Structures are given as C-alpha cells and as structure tokens.
Structure 1
Amino acid sequence: MSVRIRLALTCGGLFLLSGVVLLAVNYILVRSALPPAAAPAVRSFGGTMTMPGQPGPEPPDAIGTGSTPESSGLTVVSAVRSYRGGVLNTLLVQSGVAIGATLILALLLGWVVADRTLRPVQAVVATARRLGADNLDARIRLRGPRDELTELADTFDEMLDRLAASFDSQRRFVANASHELRTPLAAQRTLVEVAMGRPGAEPALRELGTRLLTMNVRIEALIEGLLVLARSDRGLAARQVVCLDEVVETVVDTHRAVAAEAGVDLRWERTGRDRSARPPDLVWGDRVLLERMVSNLVDNAIKYNRRGGTVWVRDGRDPVLWVANTGPSVPSSSAVDLFEPFSQAGRGSRGAEPGAQPGAGLGLSIVASIVRAHGGSVRAVPRPEGGLEMAVFLPTRESA
C-alpha cells in the first residue's frame, strides 16, 4: 500500500473517529434534554392524570366518555416514549448519513492533500531514476517555502554535486593518464625494434626484445581499453541511427581469421536473413562504441574457448545480440563479477597456452559500460556444457 493511500485512509479514519465521538456526545445531550419515558410525577387533580408543567385539571367530560385516570396516564406515557424514540432514531439516522457522506469527502480531500504533500518526494524519486553516467547534472531544485521537504531536496542536490565532481575527477585522471602513457610506450616499442633490427644482434637480445614487445602490446591494449572505458562512462556526446545487423556482420567478418587461427568455429546465426522477413535492428547511439561492444564480446568468446570449440553469434529483437561459446565451466556465482574491471572470475583461457596473449580484463567491463550508455543491459549465463551465454538488451527503433 502506497504512502498516499495510507495518508488518505488515516485522514478518513481520524474524521470517522471524531464524527462517532461527536455523535455520541450529541446523542447523550439530546436524550437528557427530552422528557423522560416514564411518568413518575403524574398527579391526579380531581380524578384526572396530569404531567408536571401541564395546565390544570380539565373537567371530567373533557377527558372523554368512558375514560379513566389510569388509561389517560398510560396514553400520555406512550406518547412520550414514541416521541423520544422518534427523535433519537432520527438523530442517529440523519447523523449517520451525514457522517458517511462527509467521510467520503474527507477521503477525497485526504487523497488530494497527500498528493500535494508527497509531490516533492516524487520529484526526488524521478530525479534519482533519471541519474546515470551520462546525466549526473540532473538536479531537483525544489521551489517553495523552507520546510523539511525542501531541505531534503537541497541535501540530495548537494550530494549529487559531490558525486558528479568525484566522477569527473576520476574520469579525467584515467583519460589523462592513458594519454600520457601512450607516448613513452611508443618510444619504448621503437627502441626495442631498432635494437632487434641491428645487424649482428645476438639471439638472446632478440628473444628479450620479443618478450618486451609482447608486454608492450599488452600494456597498449590495456591503455586503449581504459580510454574506451572512460569515454563510455562519460556517456554519449552524439547519437545517430545505427543498423546493428551491419555492425555484427562487420565484426564477425573481421574475427573469422582470428577464430580460424585459434581453432574455433565462428558461426553467425542471424535471425531472419531476409530483410523483408525481419526489419533490421536500429539503435540510437554511437556506431564506434557499438562496434567495440560487439567486437569485445566476440573476441572474448574466442579467447576464452578451447581448440576445436564453437562461438555462436545471433542478432535479433530480444535480445538484440546473443553470443555464446564453448569452453571451461564458469560458476554461476562468478557470472556477475565478469563485468568488473580486471576480473577473470575463475575462467580458463587460451592465455595459458604457449604463445597466447592473455586478456587485460577490461573487455566485458567496456561492454557493460557501453550498454549502460545506450540505456540497455547485458546478462551473462553459464552454459551447462561449459562456456558462457552473453545476452545484450538495447532499446531499438522501428526501421523506416
């Protein structure tokens, strides 16, 4: 039950309680003001029964022929009782109807008052839901008199200011550090290649140079991944309509040679190859980042596989992209941690084979960041036979 309903019911319940108490007090007061039902003070004047405060005795003929003092007294008592009962019943019925009608009005007014009172809280909730990596500048900026609700909204805005400053500082540091590291790495790679290319270079020197170049390539891949991660975390600066089918086709064609070298069968299972049967998926976003997302998923499926294994790639409506592979088993408890930076989550990889290049641990983190920037979600599910199933859900647009 929502707070708005509880407040409306509370207002109605308090009003009903007040109405019942008021009705009980009025009932007691009216009952005490009415003449008593019994007639203990009936007096006889010349054989005629009279009530206190009534006119003097009438002549016997005025009472009526055949009437007696006892029957006259009973008639008066019966009339008084009927009068009291009618007045009290009328009071209860009319007051009950009035309380019921006013209770409905109180519930409606309580609903309206609760809605107006909770409107600032709804603004806080709406702002919190809109917050993301690409719109940390969203603020409540609640207007109105200074009270507890405006103080809550201002405190929330101040917290968002601190968070935005912290995120921006961290992203700038990662981007700047990555850019600064590119130059010395490029110089280092050039020096190693020149040393290895000298005439008469010893075999030990060449072996050492090969190892240094291998480490250099891995560090450059790590820095490139940090740059992409920092860019996607900042959100999308510009958007365009991207045909996801074309992106998947380009990535799959690019990775066929890599898959063949690794001894992995790369299969593209496009849902409905005929465009007339299924319109292509159109995503409103950044083509470069989307291509990097698909590339990382396919590359990850090839790298964390076994020789003779298989990679399946399928694009469709829901999810828009599905990538599965064979390979080592992954615990279900570690599937969520795969999207954390530098996480391996207990997966085996071809990195253990001679000559294979281990991953930098940023591929799936970049995928998750790009998906979030496009307003979607990604899910990893371990396969019972080994390997993983990656499902990407993105908001799509109908093709023209």
Structure 2
Amino acid sequence: MIRRPRIRPTLRLRLTLLNGVLLVSTGAILMFLAWLLVRDGAQLTDQLAPGSTVTLADGRILDAVQWEQQLTDAASRELVVTGLLALVGISIVGVAGAYAVAGQALRPLHQVTATARRLGEATLDQRIGYSGADDEVAELAKTFDAMLDRLTESFETQKRFVANASHELRTPLAVMRTEIDVTLSDDEADTGEYRRMATVVRDASERANGLVDALLVLARSEAQAGRPLGRRSECDLAQGTANALSAVRREVERIGLTVETDLAHAPVVGDPGLLDRLAGNLIENAVRYNHLHGRIWVRTGSEAGRSWLVVGNTGFEVDQADVPGLFEPFRRGGRERTGARGSGLGLSIVRAVCDAHAGTVRVVAQSGGGLEVTVELPAAGAAAVRGTDQSVTPQR
C-alpha cells in the first residue's frame, strides 16, 4: 500500500491559513453589512400615497411597490456578484501576500535550523548573523548565536584542559621512564644508583597520583553543581581550616612564614570531604606561592546567614586583570602553568566546590604582591559564636 505524503502543518502554513480565514471572514461581514444597507436604503414607497405608479423610460407604467421590489432585487444581485468576485480576488492576493510575508519573517528560523544541522565540532564558528528588524525573530537569532559562542568557548576550554592534563601526566611518566632506562642501561650501576632511581620514580609517581586525585575531586565537584549533594552534614569551616594549617606546618616553618589567624565558628552544611579540600587548597596555594619570610592571614566567621573563609598571602605580584584566568585549570595569571609547581587545579576545585554548595568565591590581587581569596557559603543553624584566635606557627 502506497502511503501518500502528508502535508506538514508548518508555522508558515498556519500563519497563512489564519490570515486567510481572518481576511475572508472580514470581507464576508462587510458584504453582509453592505447588503443590509442596500435593502434598507431602497425603501422609498413608504413616503408615497397608496396606488402610486412609476413611468419608466421605455414607457411602461408600474406600481411603485413593484418597481421598488425590482430595484432592490437587482441591486442586491449586483452587490452579491460583485462582492463575491472582489472577495475572491482579495482573498487570493491576501493569502499569497501572507504566505510571502510569513516566509520572509520566518527566514531566520530556517537559518537557525540549517545552522543547527550543520553544526559540529569543526563548524562551531558558523553564526546566523541576522541583520533584519529588531523583533522577536532577531532576538531568537541573537540568542542562538550567543549560545554558539558559549559552546565554542566550552569546547575550547575542554580541549585545552585535556591537552594540559595529558601534558601534566606525561611529564612524570616520562621522568620515570627516563630514569629507569638510564639506570638499567648502566652496567656499572650500584645499589646507590638504584636507590636514587627509586626515589625519583617515587616522587614522580606521587606527582602523577596527586594530579589524578585533583582531577577526580574537580570532576566530582563539578558534577555536584546545581544538583543535591550526595553527602550532607554540618561542618565547621574553622575546624577544616585549622586542620589544613596543621598539615602545612612543616613547610611554613621551612620558609619562615608568619601566619595570622582569626578562626571563628563558621557552620555550613555540605560534603565534608569537598569542604576540607576547599580549605586545604586555599592554604596550600597561600604557602606554595609565597616568598621567604612572607605572611599569611586566615579568617573564618559567620554573619547574616552566610559563613565565610578568607585566605590571604604575600607573594608574587598578580595583575587584577589576570585573576579570572586563575580559576581555569592548569593556568596561572592567565598563562599556561604546565610544568610549574602544583597541579594547577587548586582554584578550579575551589570554585567547583563553591558552586556545588551554592556559594561564591572572590579573589583580589594585593598591592605589592599576593592574593586574598574570600569564600562565602550558606550558613547552617543559628548565628555563629565568635571564637578565639589561633596560631599554628611561631613568629619569624
């Protein structure tokens, strides 16, 4: 059985039909009103005496009422015939015009459809570029172009992330392979050489393992953004920050940093593991990117339904314009940071954890060098009670 093709009720066809129905209905109503006017306007015999007659041009004499009836019928027939012909003509022209106008108005929609069909990873640079009237269709076209801009940026960021992650993982693997090959090729290598090789391999493997752990935390944090957290319990940012400070005590003492703390109660509800990683990353960055005998200041607290953590440090000077680039994976100060100290995922993880907990993070470059990072999260429970100051390192 051959199935006949079905006419699609496209938006253009529906607009054309709607315009045609409105046009024909309006024309029919106008014809009816004109017919009523003709019928009512021809009542002339009411003003004549009964039995009045009318003499026509051809010499016929007719009763006035009969003559009026003939005149009314003739006018009505002429009006109906002429009106129908005019209505058909106007309807054809109107429907054709509506079809053309609807097609012109909906052309950007066809461009959107065609562009969407052509889109692929290699054609994300295509845009609609609508330049018509500033109407709803233009707004749709601009919105679609803006969406493509965001998609292009997302794909580029993803490509850069994969490339940098591959480079970071390849570096320790290359170090391990080189050390092993060099040592094994040395026939005179003694136990000391093998121990040195083992130390280098262990350090490189720890670096690779740390990078993999950071990538997993970042993926887990980003997956939680905008969704209910898998684990939720009440935590204290002050306690997590104190633990992070204790973990870096030895490094702080080694480079002679001065640590100033004001750790007040800062209750939040969230994933304890992610929140501990947030505080740990901020403290580790403050130590890692500091200078000899520098300074670190750490504050926590809660106010007006928000708990906050502030971590600041002295260090290298950073331009405020480069601050947004700090949140990109494997980037530092707007530049690629592969091969530098750390995995380059610290602030990326901090932002992802904040997003997962409906919080915010703000970074301000300090005059003279260093950064101050402020994290704000929704507070848990009643207003926090001010705690006492703590210090984890001796003064320089």
Q: Which one has a bigger Cα radius of gyration?
A: 1
TM range (shorter): 0.3 to 0.5
Give the structure, 1 or 2, with the largest relative contact order (CA under 8 Å, sep 6 or more). 2
Report the TM-score when normalising by structure 1: 0.46
